[in-house]
Structure 1
Amino acid sequence: MAYRELRYPILNISPWLERNRTEYLDQLLRVSTTGEWDNWVQFFCAAVHAESIEVVSRVDRLVSLRSDFHQRLVAARVKGVALRIADDLIGYPMITATLASELYGVSYQAANQAIKRLTELGILKQRGSGRYDRIFSSGAVLQALDY
């Protein structure tokens, strides 16, 4: 991979195009019937510009959340795997104790305790009422990722 090449797409213009569906279809029809591309290119650039601004805003929210999580954990004197899980919630906002155990090379009990601590601090919340291999998520991260 070349230096500074994106591995994954971080700009998704589909939501913007969906919100502007009528104009999008009109622009496509206009290009098809007239062969004139200028308006289409301007329209597409507007989509890229608008979604770029949203992506930067989303990244800022996630960086702020990560910092907030870290400060809360330091203040509560939380260390070890709980700190590592909290750092990774930005990219993976849902976790189970089994997954945490595998990802961080700790026992199930250690992973479960870390998740319990993160839940006590309000960083994670259990989803559903499963008894075994419960799923936990960070509502703050999911909300920050929401379009």
Structure 2
Amino acid sequence: MRDLMKDIPYNRLPLLPISQDKIETVPILRQVTKSAIALAELKGLAHTLPNPSILLNAVILKEARVSSEIENVITTHDKLYQALSARGITVDPATKEVLRYREAMLKGHRAVSKKGFLNTNIIIAIQEALEENNAGLRKLPGTSLKNAITGEVIYTPPDDKDAILALMKNLEDYINEVDEVSPLIKLAVQHYQFESIHPFYDGNGRTGRIINVLYLILHGLLDSPVLYLSDYIIKHKADYYRLLQEVRTAGQWEEWVLFMLNAVEETSRATIKQISSIKALFTKTQEKVKAADSKLYNKELLELIFEQPYSKIEFVVERLSVSRVTATKYLKGLEQIGILTAKKVWKETLYVNEELFDLLKK
């Protein structure tokens, strides 16, 4: 770490792995146990929902919105769900950018699930989806990380093309290797390394946060991207950047690894609470529909309005294989008994599951 100078490209960034005595301290190993228990509980509970897609859609959108907010790209849940559901509306640039994050996450998830590994080509494809360009890995010098307020250079990542390629190959091997070190510890290490390589001209932060969740899926700790890590990062944004820098400048691994382990535990427990709330609301909604109008009750219909909090006639027609007349009757019936709220967006009517929407925003 002593050869790091803020304004000189760090082409000698050390390769992985890291010495185990630096990342397997007593406090880290204690926290690994707590984080692993919370994550395992989340993995199991996600399958107890009426339809796992209910949680998947909600968490990916929340992760997309907050991960983008870390980079000062701001939009709202309402705009996101409208953009996904309504045709013909004008979507602002920030909302489009957040929706690209969602697509990049899903693209990465499909690739890792299909191939069983996470390599540089998949990482490049994720970044291309995020940024809508195919610039690929950096080939030109001039990239540096600066203090947003003072403009002072705080870190200059590697700029040698061959060094970047070698570092990415080393990172790829580390990500896919199974060894005696807990994958939760390695999650923190690989995230530090990726952000320090800073391999792209743009989109490094968001790409790195997508890799975090895909890494957990790759190693069997999650089945789908339902962990909302960016929430913890934005709540502790100053510490996140400070601790990354302290690993670079002083080799302070323990506090950084603990930060990431705490992020896993806290966000797992928050998502577990949300699952319980969604299940309770689903049961309450079932009972309300049965009591108000038993002819309206259709479990698949209720799953749809939980999977798509902003629903519309076309969604019902497609999911239930019914006519537009029947689909309209279903949605208007649910509106009449207070389950849905009709909302005119451009030329379409969307039916909003307001109680669920409020729950998912938390």
TM-score range, shorter chain: 0.7 to 0.9
Compared CA separation, residues 80 and 118, structure 1 to 2 (3 A): closer
* Kept in 1: contact 2:316–2:327 (CA 8 A): yes
- Residue 237 of structure 2: aligned partner: 21
- Residue 355 of structure 2: aligned partner: 140
Q: Does 1:40 align with 2:261?
A: no
* Kept in 1: contact 2:289–2:296 (CA 8 A): no
CA RMSD of aligned residues (A): 2.2
The offset of 1:49, in angstroms, is 1.1
- Residue 321 of structure 2: aligned partner: 105
Q: Take 2:265 and 2:281, find their aligned partners in 1: how far apart are those partners?
A: 25
Which of the pair has more CA radius of gyration? 2
- Residue 302 of structure 2: aligned partner: 86
* Kept in 1: contact 2:290–2:296 (CA 8 A): no
Moved over 4 A (4+): 4-7, 80-83
Extract unaligned runs of 5+ from structure 2. Answer: 1-112, 117-219
TM-score by length of 1: 0.87
**SS at the partner of 2:322?**
coil
**SS at the partner of 1:127?**
strand
Relative CO higher for 1 or 2, CA cutoff 8 Å, sep ≥ 6? 2
Q: Take 1:82 and 1:63, find their aligned partners in 2: how far apart are those partners?
A: 17
Q: Does 1:54 align with 2:277?
A: no
The offset of 1:48, in angstroms, is 1.0
**Greater shift in the superposed pair: 87-96 or 22-31:** 87-96
Matched residue count: 145
Amino acid at match of 1:49: E
**Greater shift in the superposed pair: 85-94 or 16-25:** 85-94
* Kept in 2: contact 1:13–1:47 (CA 8 A): yes
TM-score by length of 2: 0.37
The offset of 1:129, in angstroms, is 6.0
